[in-house]
A = this chain, B = another copy of it.
Amino acid sequence: MIELDFSGHQPIYEQIIQQVKMALSKGELKPGDAIPSVRKMALELSVTPATVAKAYQELERQKIIETIRAKGTFIAANVKMKVDDDKLTIIQKKITGEILELKMMGYSVEEVKQFVADIYTAL
């Protein structure tokens, strides 16, 4: 279900976070659904449990999953991303660098808009 890219520079734990969010976005996961235990997912992905734990910890911090003692880990009932201005600023900073690269490669505004729209709809 989750596919990792080990060769790249994106941290493994971030890839896990992102793919859980993506599954949620696509409707493959719904509030209340159970997700594999840290150990189980670590086995499936061939990574160390610590890496999965770090991803889950961050997801829990963002209130996307909930851990219930001795029961397991579940998608939070009320998955509702808080629109945080700080976070928006961070995203803007990160995205600016990539937009700049695209612009310097010669892409027009329209092309970039199409580019992100394609990504958006694929999520």
A contacts, CB < 8 Å to B: 6-12, 14, 18, 21-22, 24-25, 61, 66, 68-69, 71, 81, 83, 87-88, 91-106, 109, 112-113, 115-117, 119-121, 123
Contacts and interface: CB of A to CB of B under 8 A. Distances in A.
Contacts of A71: 6
A61 B86 CA distance: 12
Given A95-B95, A104-B25, A12 B69 contact: yes
State the majority secondary structure of interface residues on A.
helix
B109 A8 contact: no
Given A25-B104, A104-B24, A97 B11 contact: no
Contacts of A12: 69
Those 7 A-B pairs whose CB atoms lie nearest each other, nearest first: A113-B113, A81-B105, A95-B98, A81-B104, A109-B120, A99-B119, A91-B98
Contact of A66 (B7, B88, B119): B7
A87 B106 CA distance: 14
